Every structure is written in C-alpha cells, then in structure tokens.
Structure 1
Amino acid sequence: MSWFAPLLHGDGVAGLILVLGIVIASGIALGSIKIRGISLGIAGVLFTGILYGHLAWRDHGPVPAPVAMSSATPAVIAEPAQQPQPPQQHQPPARDVAASHHAAEADRIHLLEFLREFGLIFFVFSIGMQLGPGFFSSLRDQGLRWNLLAASVVLLGTGMGILAWAVGGLPAPLSVGLLSGAVTNTPGLAAATQALKDSVPGASAAELNLPAMGYAVAYPFGVLGVILSMIALRLAFRIDPLAEASAFRAAGIGSRPAPTDADLEVKNPGLAGRTVANAITLAGGKVAVSRLMRGTTMVVPELDRVLQIGDILHVVGDAASLDRMRMVVGDLASIKLTEVEADLDYRLMLVTNPKAVGRTVADLDLHQECGAAISRISRSGIEFVATGNVRLLFGDQVRVVGDSTGLVRASEILGNSVKQLDHPQMIPVFVGIALGVMLGSIPVLFPGIPAPVKLGLAGGPLVAALVLSRLGRLGGMNFYMSHGANLMIRELGIVLFLACVGLKAGGSFVDTVIGGDGLLWMAWAAAITVVPVIVVGLFARLVLKLNFTALSGLIAGSMTDPPALAFANATTQSESPAVTYATVYPLTMILRVLSAQAFILFTL
C-alpha cells in the first residue's frame, strides 16, 4: 500500500483529485446534518477542507536530513566483513530532499489556486446566467436602497479595520489583510498589496507579506462568520425562511409582474368600429388578446379585427394592465371563454428554431402564418405577457392559442424541440466566461488611487453573464442555460472553491491561531466580519422591515461572499437571494477595492 499514502497526501494531480473528492463528499454530508433545524449547508465543505489540510498538510517544520551511514558506524546485526555499508554517495543530499519537498508543496498550492478560481468563475457565471432576465428590473425597483445598505456594510467594515490598527495596535498592512480576508475579497488584497509596494518603495519582504498573512488567517472565518451572522439574525427575529421567500416572490421583486387573465365584454360605444390593436394601445400596450367571441363563434383575433358592441375578449396581462383594459373596453363578462367549448385550445411550446430566435412576437406574426397567437412567455422561471415588441430567445417557453391545425404549424415554426433544448450550448458558455475574465481584468483608474481598480475573476464573469443572459443572443450564439445545467455548474463551482480554500488554509490554520498573536488576529477578523453585518442587518430588519430573503442576499453580496449566497439559497430553498446579491455586488466590489487601497494610503 506504499502507493496509497502519497495519494492521500495529495501528491500529484491524481492525489489532489482524490483529496478533493474526499473533502467535498464528506463536507456535503457534514453540511446536511441538522441540529435544531440549523445546518452548515454547503459551508460544511470548508470545514472538512480545513480539517483535512490540518491533518495531512500541517507544517511540521524543516524536513529532517537523512542519516548517512559511515564506515565508523558500528554494525549491530550483520558482520562488518560480510555486510559492507552502501556507498554514501547514493544517499540523496538533505538539501535536495528539502528542495523536492518544497517544489511539491508549491505545485500543490498552484493547483489549488487554479481550481479555486476556476470553481469561483463557474459559480458566479451560472448565477449571472440565472439572474440576467430579472436583474435590471430589480435594479430599477430596489437598487438604490439595497446599494446604500451594502455600502454601509463596506464602510463599517473599513472602520473596524481602522480600529484594529489604531486601537488594537496591529500594523496597517496586517490590518488591511485582515479586512480583505474577513470580507473574502481577493481583489481588495491585491489592490492593497500593490498600493503598499507603490507607497513604500523600501518595504521589506516581511512587510509586503503581512497583508497575505492577515488575509489567510481571516478568510476562513470570513466565510463562516457571514453564515453564522445570518443564522443569528434568523434566530433573533424567529424568521421562517420559506415564508419570507414566498413573500418575496409574491411581491414580484426582481421580476416582471405575474400575468393573469380576464374576459371583458365590449360595452364602450367609442370602441365600436375600432380595432383590437386600438384597444390594446389605449390600455397601455401591455396586454395580449388571445380569444374573441362574437355570438357563438370564437376565434383567435388578428390585431386589425374590428370590434363590435357585445364582443367578448379574453385578455392576458398583469393586474394593473387588466384594470386599464377593462376601463377601455367596458366590463367583466359573465362567461369565461376558456371554459366554452370551441375548436380553440392552447399548447406550451419551446422556441428552438433558429429562424424564430431573435424575432419579435409581432414580426413572427403567427396569426398570419397559421391563425394562432402567443399569449404568454416563460423565461428563466419568469412568466410575462407576450406583447408585440418582446423578442423571442432560445429556450423560451411560450403559450400558443389556436385550432389543432394551427397549433401543429406553430410548433414547426417555433421548433419545439426538447432534444435541441437539452443539448448543452458549450461555445456560448466559454465565450461568456472568456469575455467575463477580460472584463474583470480591465484596469480602471480613479483620482488619488495609485493602483487601478478591477472587477476581478469574481466580478467580471458575473457582470458578463448578467448582460449576456439579458440579451439572450449575440452574434449567432444563444446564451441559454437550462435549469439543470445551471444548477450543476453552480454547485460544482462552489464546492471546488470551498474545498480549495479549506485545504489551502488548513495546513497552517490551527498553528497560526493558537500561536503568537494569532488569536488576537482572529478576534479582530471576527469583529470586522460580524459587526457590520449584524448592525446593518438589525437596521434593515427593524427599521426598513426588509424581507429576510432580500437581506440574506444583500449580506452575501456586500461581503462579496459566494458561499454565503449558496447558504442563503439553500436556507430559503430558492434562488431569490441571488437577486439582491447581483444587484449590490458590482458597486460593493469597487468599494472594497477602493477602501483597501485608501486604507494603506492614509495609514502609512
């Protein structure tokens, strides 16, 4: 079994993959254990990573030099004349053993860093792809208030870092490292390190390493502390996460208003002789008319169909739009057209035909082609009215109304191929990731800040995915990701990220904490993490009455903490927290980088 021990130690690519498998599987199992209804969730992977790293990769000091057998060494068992000692030159020099050991450690760290960043990119990109269609509406609706709360978290965290330097007596480079680690913000660490190099040209290597040391000590608790703070807020207010998530969705935050329907009878004399299109325009243009009954005949009306008094219209729209349409048309009808026997029916169909993708509902004009009409569209879990100016995207699920012949023809026009929908769109995914990496690498200069600000590998792919999923189609590529594929990539990314963070920190985590000033560092890191979250959380809940679903996503975003977002999603059993996370993340990332650089400039 001599071959197995190096694998368990994580030596080589095969060994590291084995270790990751053990850490991730055991971490998910640990996270699923509930005590009084509370569990660690996905954060369990971080703990098993730290434990495995401590047990397998703990720094035991220099590698001892091998003992060389000399001719003066007495033979204990064998006769000297019959058992000559092996030549000394076959023993590897101690320095070669140490060099080989350090080279293996360096290779392992590089692999962990690559897998950590790769997992992070997968996670944030899949989040952006899921949120894109509803993100910009949430930004308009609640963006200002959410971003002000997130900025308050950043400001309070920076203030705690300054206290660690001014009151706690910690060196400024170490304090800014604790600040970056406590909020899990790697770009902030990089920006602070660069600012330190630029502002203190003669800084020693030890001084330049202080930010990284503080970051390494604070990072594990930065992940855990945010999750514990969420749990504390939940328990303090006796919050039911599922009820809060239901209320969040019911409020329509981060999505378009859910469509409903009504049957309206034309009683307005001024509408007689006018067309269906005229009525829709007078009502604000945000409704669709999918059925018209005149006498005993029911049809799918074309937009230029002339209305008469007594016509009954089946109208689809949100509640406010239906009220406006009722004021224009007349009053609610005494019958429901969907319950009247007729040749009309509806089918749910998928938009997969390249010839239909990218065209508007009006341009496609199913009524002209087959006498059918699209009344509703479902995209990324959000359902809305199929108004004429809506552009169809690959993967949209549409509700089509028509007779049997028209529905068959509509299916051919739209594509309606489940097989094509399930086929992974790999080129758009990796093109999107590449664009996100480039976006995150663009340096932006701000006056008075010596080093440029970048969104980094976490912010760039997130912003790129938000924009691309909102567009849906770019240059012939369909930026569509099925829910199953999105969830798989997201979960794979976050467990890789957490496992690598835990393993990398575990080797020296315990020794750093219990030795020297490690406990003091940890205490300040915990304060930097917990105090801003609790203060803003209490204010948001007590004063603003903010929904816990929105609050948990806001906390995760303000701390630039993807694992906390994964925990919030799991706690609420929904993806709604990601709406606030994505809304505050871009501004928070910029503020984190700027505050880290300003910290160095104003304390040295």
Structure 2
Amino acid sequence: MDMLKTLLETQPLLTLFVTVALGYVVGEINIKGVSLGSGAVLFVGLAIGGWAPKSAPPALLGTLGLLLFLYGIGIQYGEQFFKGLSSAEGLKANIAAALGVIGAGFVSVALVHLFGVGLDQALGMFAGSGTSTASLQAAMAMLKGDGATVGYSVSYPFGVAGPILFLYALSALIKPKIERPPQKVMETAEIALRNPALIGLKLSDLIKRLPDEVAIAAVRRAHHNQQPAHDLVLEPDDVLLATATDPALLRETTSMFGELQPGRMTSHREDLDYLRVFASSKLVVGHALRDLRFPDGVDCSIAHVRRGDADMMPSQDLILEFGDRVGLLVNGAHHKTMRAFFGDSIKGTAELSFISIGVGAALGLLVGAIPIAIPGVGKMTFGLAALLLVALCLGRVRRFGPFVWTMPLTANLVLRNFGLTIFLAQVGIASGPKFFATVGVTGASFLLYGVVIALALLIITAAFCLWIFRMPFDLAVGVISGATGNPAILAFANRLAPTDRPDVGYAMIFPSMTIVKILFVQIAVVLIGG
C-alpha cells in the first residue's frame, strides 16, 4: 500500500485520471432511482486526497475544467436564456428561481451568526445544496481556503437526492395529469386543388391563409414537379405537396384545398428528388434559412430540418446548427453540388473551432478581470461569472464574421462534462486532508444544515412557480431543476413530466441562476468578510 501511495503522490496526473475513473464507477451505483453521477468524482477525490495528501494536481487544472464547463453551458443555452428574459413566462421562472436561491443563501449566511459556522463552510454548504461547482470555485477563490470544499462535500449528497425526493413527493401531492406529446415527425400530403375559391390565386397569397405550422414544399403541374415559386398562379388540378408535424393540420388543409392524390408526386422524381444532408459547412451553419444563397443554377427548396430527435418546419428565421439534418427537394443532377454546399459530413458535426473557443474564452476572462464598483459593496471582479455571461451572449449571436461560436451538441456535451469532471477530481484530491480532519467533528451538523438550505431553495421556488405564478406542473419542475442545477434532477423531472417543458424551464433559468449563486457568494464574502 505504501508503494501505491508513493506512486499517487509522485504522479498527480495519474492520480487525477484514476479518480475520474473510480468516480464514475461509484456514480453509476443506483439506489432506488438516485445516483450521484459525476458528483461521485468529488467524493472519490476526497478519499484519495485524504489517504495520499501530496497527490493533488495543480489548481490551474481545476480552474480550466470549470472554465470549459461554464463556456459550454453558455454557448448551448444562450438563445433560450435571452428568450426567457424577454418573455413573461421566462421572467416569472427567473424570479421564482432567484428568490429560492437568494432565500437559501440567506439561510446559509444565518448559520454563521446563529451557530458559529465559518463563512467559508457556510458558503460551501450553500454551493453543495445547490450543486453549484461554479459558486464553490468562487468561494474558494475569494476566501483562499478549503473550508468551502468541506461544506460542499458534506451537503452535496442531499443537494442531489433531496430535490429528487422533493419532486417525487410534490408529484404525489398534486397528482398532475400530463400526457406525453407525440414525437414531432414531418408528415406529408399530396393534395389536388379542387376549391374554386383558390384557383387563380398566387401561391404566396395561398400560403398566407395557411397555419404557420403548414408549408407547401412543391407543386405538380402538367406531369412535372416544380419548386413552389411565390408568383405561381394556381390552376385547377395542381397538386400541392403540403408538410406539417401535426396530422390534424394536414387534414384541415386537405379539406380546404380539395382531395388527397397520394403518389402523384413522390412516385415521379425526374424533376425533383428528395435529398437529406448534414449541416456541417461554415457556409450554412449559424445562418438563417432566409440568408442561404444556393449555388448558381441550382433550383432547390428546404422541405424540413431535423434537429436531435424532432422535425422542425423550415421557417425563414430558423438558424441552422452543426449536425442539423436538412431535407431538400432538388433535381438529382445537383445532389453532389448540394452535398458540398451543406458539408454533409458526420465527422464535421463533431469538429470544434478552437479559434472561436480561444477568442470567446479569452474575451470572457478579460471581462471577468475588470473591477466593477457596486454601491455599498465596493469594487469586485466577476471572474468566471463574467465568462459565463459572455458565453451566453456568444451563444445567442451564434456567429460573427468568420467566427462560429456554436459547436455541435455532442462535442459541447463532451467538452463541458470533461471539464466538470476534471474540476471535481482536482478539488476533491486537494481538499481531502482538510475534509477528513473536519468532517469527524462537524459532519452530522453540517449534513443537517445542508438539508435546511436545500429545503429553503426547493420550497420557495416551488411555491412561487406553482401557487403564486401558477405555472404548469411540467414547466415548474424544469424551473425547480434549473434552480438546483444538477442534470440528474432534470432527468428525474423528465420522467415525472414527459414533455419538452422541463427542458425549456431548465434552459431558461439554469445559466442565470448559476450567475446569481456566484454573485451571492462574492457579495456575501465582501459584506461579511473572510
């Protein structure tokens, strides 16, 4: 054992990756639907650090890991974040979550005066109860000690398991009736024009009468399929290829136009053929569909876009992302040209622009280093909170000139999960010795304090979501998940409410609540003092 201990203490990078591997093994253990996931890496790191005190990797590694995590979050959720701030529903969600987070913060600060808990330990419990590694880093950076890590590690388990149990109890109490929505899959209908009131109209005028969720992808006339030109004047027996993700809307459109004529268009592909391509080229990624300029001589239309597991209508303001699968209607002779135009590379959807990441992260760090005067508080730098805010702005812009700020979803997930794992492993190993020296005396009381802080966060947020703002249950559980922060909680919320609203609620408030938690820690340190 002494040889193993010596090996770990002389090879810190080896120790780091052993911690990561063992942490994920422990995190896979599932007890009645509750598992620690990546959070287990912290506990394995504490155990290894306590046993081999000199095995900690450099602190810069942990900071780099957290930077990657926050930057990836900001880039992915930028658009949803700003939509949340500009909509009434989003504002209510952010207010409810902010009140819950601030309420939990006040409870943690009260422990300093009521029970003599150290400020660093209290703020660590605040971070652990809210499973916020970013606010833990802020407490560690400002207080220059590892007391925050001790509080974080003791309260973190209930920070993960507590919200899951709370949501389970809340669902049992309310008994919401939530039906799983049908998967959005593009449906088509070939409709022969029989309605005299529509004959003689321009196609553009006809489209204005359709619901927004219905599109005309092609027209067949005189035995030839053709693109849906807006100035085309409709004639009797024209066959229109209508598309929608809602079958009911297609039935409504059919009754408006005339009658179904299945097979009239899809069985004849000499003029127009269907082609699906991956969006992986910088010529198209980050651009709205209205701004795409197809190669000269190519007559092409976009029938639909599939992102993830859902089909999307090709609205003119839809912005393409890496990995989108785009359905085209184009003559077969131009298939090769259009593949080259869109990129059509699965490999390309997993590539990153390291220039964009470097510029974006450097800009965020620069903004975070600027001291800002806050009345009553003094001058503060926002550090990684500013980096997250810059990343959110870049995620909203998506591209600027040659810089494509977004990245493929799969690459984003890998990058930020790897960063979070490295941060947890480094912090755990470095804090292990102090943790075991402290937890034997304060562990039980700290666990109780962590439960109280987490319950304050959950109860306040749920009360405002469900009973004051009267949000739907499926949206409310997403907001509660975002306020607590851990993805495992969101996964459980999705099982309780199998709609897309938990994800929407989470995305609208998770970035802003991360910033609120970081700022609360920083302001508390300045006002109360270290």
Give TM-score, length-normalised by structure 2: 0.80
Alignment partner of 1:161: what SS?
helix
Cα separation, partners in 2 of 1:390 and 1:146, compared to 1, 3 Å = closer
Contact 1:263 1:337 (8 Å CA) reproduced: yes
Q: 2:232 is matched by which residue type in structure 1?
A: R
Give deviations 1:350-369, integer Å, cap 9, x for gaps.
Answer: 23445555665455465973
Quick one: which amino acid aligns to residue 164 of structure 2? I
For the structure 1 residues 566 and 441, does the alpha-carbon distance in structure 2 shift closer, same or farther, using more than 3 Å as the test?
farther
CA distance in 2, matches of 1:476, 1:361: 18
Superposition map of 1:115-514 within 5 A: 115-132=61-78, 134-137=80-83, 140=87, 142-170=89-117, 175=122, 178-179=125-126, 182-183=129-130, 184=132, 212=145, 214-236=147-169, 247=180, 250=181, 260-266=187-193, 269=196, 271-283=198-210, 287-294=214-221, 296-317=223-244, 319=246, 326=253, 330-331=256-257, 333-336=259-262, 340-343=266-269, 344-356=272-284, 361-362=289-290, 364=292, 366=294, 369-379=297-307, 383-392=311-320, 395-452=323-380, 454=382, 456-457=383-384, 459-514=385-440
Q: Which amino acid aligns with 1:146?
A: A
Q: Which is further off, 315-324 or 258-267?
A: 315-324
Q: How far 1:232 sits from its partner (Å)? A: 1.4
The corresponding residue for 2:12 is 16
CA distance in 1, matches of 2:368, 2:527: 26
Distance 2:515 2:414 in 1: 29
Aligned partners of 1:33, 1:416: CA distance in 2, in Å? 39
CA contact (8 A) 1:280 1:325 kept: no
Q: Provide the residue aligned with 1:93 in structure 2.
A: none
The question of whether the paired residues in 2 share the 8 Å contact of 1:28 and 1:45 is answered with: yes
Secondary structure of the corresponding residue to residue 333 of structure 1: strand
C-alpha separation in 1, matches of 2:138 and 2:281 = 46
Q: Secondary structure at the match of 2:216?
A: strand
Change in Cα spacing, 1:338 to 1:23, as seen in structure 2 (3 Å) is farther
TM-score, normalising length from structure 1?
A: 0.71
Report whether the alignment pairs 1:583 with 2:508. Answer: yes
Task: Please tell me whether the aligned partners of residues 365 and 387 of structure 2 are also in contact (alpha carbons under 8 angstroms).
Answer: yes
Contact 2:29 2:35 in 1 (8 A): yes
Report the Cα distance in structure 1 between the residues aligned to 2:138 and 2:293, rounded to whole angstroms.
Answer: 54
Q: What's the CA shift for 1:229? A: 1.0
2:456 is equivalent to residue 531 of structure 1: yes
Question: Deviations along 1:243-300, whole A, 9 cap, x unmatched?
Answer: 99994xx499xxxx87654445545555433322232345477654212133654333
Counterparts of 2:425 and 2:259 in 1: how far apart (Å)? Answer: 61
SS at match of 1:330: helix
Tell me the equivalent position of 2:41: 45
Cα offset, 1:507, TM superposition: 1.2
SS in 1 for 2:378: coil
Give the aligned length.
Answer: 518
Q: Alpha-carbon deviation of 1:512?
A: 0.6
Deviations 1:523-565 (A, max 9, x none): 33442234322553477568857556863x5445434x5xx22
Query: Which ranges in structure 2 are unaligned for 5 or more consecutive residues?
Result: none
Report the Cα offset of residue 31 of structure 1: 1.7
Q: Alpha-carbon deviations, 1:554-582, whole Å to 9, x = none?
A: 445434x5xx2256448859998665444
| Equivalent residue, structure 2, for 1:91 | none
Mapped partners of 1:603, 1:425: distance in 2: 43
Q: Does 1:7 align with 2:11?
A: no
SS at match of 1:373: strand
Alpha-carbon separation, structure 2, partners of 1:217 and 1:179: 11
- Which residue identity is paired with 1:122? L
Q: Which amino acid aligns with 2:449?
A: W
**Structure 1's 493 and 382: CA in aligned 2 closer, same or farther, altered over 3 A?**
farther
CA contact (8 A) 1:233 1:537 kept: no
Instruction: Name whichever of 576-585 and 540-549 sits farther off.
Output: 540-549
Taking a change above 3 Å as real, the CA distance of residues 549 and 120 of structure 1, as seen in their structure-2 partners, is farther
Q: 2: distance between equivalents of 1:40 and 1:394?
A: 31
Question: C-alpha displacement at 1:518, in angstroms?
Answer: 6.0
Letter in 2 for 1:54: G
Contact 2:121 2:150 (C-alpha < 8 Å) held by counterparts: no
Q: Could you say what secondary structure the match of 1:316 adopts?
A: strand
**SS at the partner of 1:370?**
coil
TM-superposed CA distance for 1:148, in Å, is: 2.0
Could you tell me whether the CA contact under 8 Å between 1:220 and 1:505 is conserved in 2? no
1-structure distance, mates of 2:2, 2:438: 31
What is the aligned-residue RMSD (CA, Å)?
4.3
In 1: Cα distance, 2:357 partner to 2:177 partner: 33
Change (3 A) 1:494 1:245: farther
Q: Residue 130 and residue 258 in structure 1: after superposition, are their counterparts in 2 closer, same or farther (change >3 A)?
A: farther
Contact 1:377–1:398 at 8 Å: present in 2 too?
Answer: yes
- Give, in whole Å, the separation in 1 of the partners of 2:351 and 2:443: 51
The question of whether the paired residues in 2 share the 8 Å contact of 1:41 and 1:570 is answered with no
Q: CA deviation at 1:332?
A: 5.8
Question: Is the Cα contact below 8 Å between 2:203 and 2:233 reproduced in 1?
Answer: yes
Contact 2:155 2:447 in 1 (8 A): no
Unpaired runs of 5+ residues, structure 1, are 58-104, 195-207
* Cα distance in structure 1, aligned partners of 2:244 and 2:79: 18
Q: What is the percent sequence identity of the aligned residues?
A: 26
Cα distance in 2 for partners of 1:18, 1:176 equals 31
Q: Deviations over 1:134-167 (max 9, x none)?
A: 5555553741232122112123213313542454
1:359–1:391 Cα contact (<8 Å) kept: yes
- Residue 54 of structure 1 is aligned with which of 46, 50, 60? 50
Kept in 1, the 8 Å contact 2:360–2:391? The answer is yes
In 2: Cα distance, 1:341 partner to 1:320 partner: 21
Distance 2:287 2:123 in 1: 51
Q: 1:237 to 1:306 in 2, by over 3 A?
A: same
Q: Which whole-Å CA distance do the structure 1 matches of 2:464 and 2:153 have between them?
A: 26
